[in-house]
Amino acid sequence: MSHHVLQRRIDTPLGPLTAARSAAGLAGLWFDDQKHHPGVLDAPDDEGSDALLSATAAALAAYFARRPFSLPPLDPAGTAFQREVWRALLQIPPGAPDTYGRLAQRLGRSGAARALGAAVGRNPISILIPCHRVVGADGSLTGYAGGLQRKQALLALEAAAR
């Protein structure tokens, strides 16, 4: 049985995203060519009628316009460890990238940097759970499921908004 109950396509300056919701909140937000994209979802299109998917589209529009926004309720499916990492990503402020190592230390898991990196890479809610804000120890852009060009563009957008 699918975790997704409705979906919507949302256009952004970095390409279209597919937003999928569960009964409890936003469950996924993927670029078409993104690594770990679930592929064709077994969920009907909301045809613009779902309030949560409308709030997601509005949040993305505000994000790209560098305006404040509220996150819709989030409901990403993952292991307890992955969800812990994704919650920690929400604490990284825009325009202030953090490293995998510091993120692991903050979670009290300094020996689990590799597992943490895998959890970051499996984030199913692009942009709104800001995995793009995690960089290498030397500040280099390291993996992003949506592609390094998008990661660079997102970080530049956030830096300009500071």
* pLDDT tens string 1-38: 347 689 899 999 999 999 999 999 999 999 988 766 66
Q: Out of 6, 74, 119, 131, pick the active-site residue.
A: 131
Q: What is the pLDDT of residues 106-130, one digit of tens each?
A: 999 888 888 898 999 999 999 999 9
Q: In angstroms, rounded to a whole number, what is the distance separating the alpha carbons of residues 93 and 90?
A: 8
DSSP letters, 13-61, are TT--EEEEE-SSSEEEEEETT-TT---S-SS-B-TT--HHHHHHHHHHH
Sign of CA dihedral 40, 41, 42, 48: negative
Catalytic residue check, 131: yes
Q: How far apart are alpha carbons 11 and 85 in whole angstroms? A: 27
| Better-scored residue on pLDDT, 3 or 66 | 66
Which of helix, strand or coil describes residue 6? Answer: strand
In the chain, the amino acid numbered 82 is: Q
**What's the pLDDT score for residue 1?**
37
CA–CA separation, 40 vs 116, rounded Å?
27
In the block, residue with structure tokens 């589209």: 57
Q: What is the CATH number of domain 80-161?
A: 1.10.10.10
Nearest to 76 by CA among 131, 10, 138, 33: 131
